[in-house]
Structures are given as structure tokens and as C-alpha cells.
Chains A and B, each alone.
Chain A
Amino acid sequence: MNLSTAVKIKYEKSLVTGKDASVKVIFSTTKDVDGNDTWEFLSIPMDEHNTDYQAILKWIADGNTVEESD
């Protein structure tokens, strides 16, 4: 996961608990094989064993900020 190419990094709430449960990461738009816009979308659970979430925590420790959830 290369967070430098992300266009949005934002907390997302659980529908059931109403608390932040994941981090949404949206990458920049490219073209699919049919020439239409496509993009990669990650929903990263806030589990410290998940290596993507570990990367988010490091990104935060490096001075970056995750956008607050709605």
C-alpha cells in the first residue's frame, strides 16, 4: 500500500456501534480495460495485527492526519 498516491484517507464508523471501525483509503483514478474510470478502494479495519493499519499508524506517527469520520 502506497499512501502517497491516496486521494482520501478517512475514518469510517461501524454502522452498528456508531464508532470508528475502519480507515477508508481511496487511490487516484485510472482507466480500466474498457477505458472507463476506475479506482482502488481500501477499507482497513482498526486491527493492530493488520499490516495496512500498521502502515496507517506509521503514517500518522510521521505527522499526517486521517480525516475525521462523518
Chain B
Amino acid sequence: MAFATIDLTKGVTGVLPSANATYSTPRENAVPIIYNGDMSVAQRGTSFTGVSSGSNWPVDRFEFYPTNLGAYTIIQESLTSGEAYNNGFRTALRIDTTTADASPAATDYAILRGKLEGKDLGLFKKGTSSAEKFTLAFWVKSNKTTTGQVNLFDIDNNRLVSGTYTISSANTWEKKIINFPADTTGGFDNDNALSLVVEFFLDSGSNFSSGTAPTAWEAQTNADRNANNFAIGSSTDNDFAMTGVQLEVGEFSSTTIPPFQFETFGDNLERCQRYFTKITRGVANTSICNGRWYNNSNVGGMFHLPTSMRSTPTLSITTGTNYYNASGTNANNFFDDFTFNDAADLSLGWYKGSISGTQGDGIIFMTNNSNASVSFDSEI
């Protein structure tokens, strides 16, 4: 439904909003509910090969999780043409199957998902008599012309609802809009834990595909989560690309859906850094922070975090022999790793023990190898 417009020659045209309008109105000036929906932030890297298990992040906030079902290359793809590009998107998430598994075992699966914490979800009023509908929009492209399934998985209350999308033309960007019903049962917890998963189920064995996709909220049943199997792992010909993921409060159609809320790259990055922050740049001899010798055998310092993270983060290090340096006065002190010490809202203390120095001397903490990587992880 088009909103009313004022034409200087024709006057008011279209449909005027009214107090009892049944359609939804855009959240003016709101930030996106989905983080990094334009796939522009990729702090962990932009290309990963041989992905076959566990948690993997082709871009920030979108996790690809395969389990015993093929192997994949996952990338942040730069767009240069196509309808998604024409609509302002310059990056996409892309999954290419490199090792096929056309007959997965019952328990195998491959999921692409975005995760939201409860504090972001109060506006859906879920679990109340005023509960709102959900609308999910996204751009998708694949070599496969088939039907896939996307679920909203309420972790707090173990409830699930599903939608399906059909790719009509191979290798062509298509915009999909899926409406999900409101749920008057089970509110999202107002906390920093995982509450809602937007789950693109891309492949699985029968444990996840033997049921029926629920079009109304139901108690979660694994068998219903992939009743429409996209089967990305069925052939090495297969690929799946996505961008412009947008979740809205209320029911929208292809003509009423608000425009994608593009953020500045800086704003998007800062929002993503609530969950993951990488502070190295793949360059040797880079200063990371200041520090001091706590005593003659322990050196330490404090990392300043760019934003308040969701929880006390895991200190995650890629290291090797002498990858790090506590650079003091006319002396380098190389070491391999270091340890979490304490944390406050915007800082994280670290130290390295069993290393010789002079109590009270200052240091600059530096990388000593271009492969050194330091990051903070509080993903959900």
C-alpha cells in the first residue's frame, strides 16, 4: 500500500494514514534491527576456505555453521552489478560448496544465521496481547532455482515459526519479503543473552527436514526447521549469496516495506563491535597499547575497547613463536601469548608472566609478526 503523497498539480494522492489503519508504518529514523544487514563489516577476514564445521563468520554478525555436511568457501563478496547493487548494496555474503555431500546423515546440517539479544527485541511486544507481526526482507542469489526455508527461533521460549522463499531465476539477485505472524505466547527476556535467531537453514539430514514448516508459532521441533531443504551441499555447483537483510516490526509487502536503513560504515562497525572487536591489522611492529612491569617477572597493560561489549569478552589470540613484544627502554621482550587479567565496561586488562623486566618500567605492547591477531569476542 502506497502512502499518501502531495503532487503540486494533482493535490493529495494515495492513501492517507488513519487512526485505524491496518498496515504498519516504518520506524522513522530507527537503526536496523538486524546488525550488518548490508554485509559491509567483516572484521575477521573476507575469505575462508575449507569451512566444514563449527562457528564461522563470513561477515560480522552472520554465522555459518556446518556440521558434517560438505565443505565451503565463505566470503564477503564485492558487488559491481545486478539489482542488489542497483539498490545500493556494495557487499554480500557468499557461500560456495567446495566438497559436496548429497546424502547427509540424519543429524547433519548447515545453517546461516543472525542472532539477536533480548534487549533489542522489546518492540515486538512478543508474549503480550499486543504482539506485533514480523517482516523479514533480504536479497538473495543462487545458481539453484529452488525453495528455501527461514525460521524465527525464539530461544527464550523454545518456539519457532517459518517462512519460505523461492529463487525464480538462477544467478540473479532477487528481493524476498516474508511475513511472520505475531506471537502472544512467550516474551523475549530483557537481557543480554540470545533471544532470537534468524535462521536460514541451507541443508540438513532427515532429523531437521522430515516435518512441516510451521506458518504459526509452535513449540520448536527440530524436524520442522528445514522442511524445505535448499540442499546447498548437494553439489559443488552450488552457491548462495545474500545481502540487505532487514527485519521490521509489523506486516509489509513489496510495495510498503521501508527502504533498507543504510548506516554509515562507522556506525555499523561500532554496533558490530559490541559482539566482536579486532585490534590488529595484519602488520608487524604495530603498537597496540601501553603497559608496565607489574613486578620483575610479570608485564601487563590495558586494552581500551571501542564500545561496551555484550559481556566480558574472550581474549582471542593468533600466535606463534615471539609474535608479541613488550617493547621497553632499549630492550625488546618477545613472547608468544598473554592472559586475561580483568575487565571493566570499556577496558580489558592483560598480563604476561614468567618474563624478566624491571618493576615499574613502562612498555609499549606491540605485534612482532604480521600474522599476529588480537581480538575480543562476546558473540551470542
Contact = CB atoms under 8 A, between A and B. Distances in A.
A40 B316 contact: yes
Interface stretch (B251-259, B336-344, B357-365): B336-344
Interface string B309-340: 01111111111110000000000000011111
Given A41-B319, A45-B314, A33 B340 contact: no
Nearest to A49: B311
Which residue of A24, A33, A34, A44 has the most chain B CB atoms within 10 A of its CB atom? A44
A62 interface: no
B192 A49 contact: yes
A38 B337 CA distance: 11
B340 A21 contact: yes
A38 B319 CA distance: 5
Interface in A15-50: 15-17, 21-22, 24, 26, 32-34, 36-45, 47, 49-50
Q: Give chain B's interface residue range (CB within 8 Å of chain A).
A: 35 or more
Contact of B317 (A16, A40, A45, A49): A40
A33 B371 contact: yes
Contacts of B380: 51
B378 interface: yes
B379 interface: yes
B283 to A, nearest CB: 14
Given A2-B53, A24-B339, A52-B377, A45 B320 contact: no
B163 interface: no
Contacts of B298: 15
A12 B350 CA distance: 12
Nearest to B351: A15
A40 B379 CA distance: 17
Nearest to A32: B371
Given A15-B294, A47-B311, A50-B378, A41 B337 contact: yes
Contact of B318 (A24, A34, A38, A49): A38
A41 B317 contact: yes
Nearest to B352: A15
B55 interface: yes
A51 B311 CA distance: 9
Contacts of B178: none
Given A12-B340, A38-B371, A32 B320 contact: yes
B152 to A, nearest CB: 20
Contacts of B320: 32, 36-39
A47 B156 CA distance: 20
Contacts of A32: 320, 371
B300 interface: yes
Contacts of A64: none
Contacts of A47: 311-312
Nearest to B54: A2
Nearest to A2: B54
A16 B310 CA distance: 24
Task: Name the 8 nearest CB pairs between A and B, nearest first.
Answer: A49-B311, A47-B312, A43-B340, A43-B315, A22-B340, A38-B320, A45-B312, A41-B317
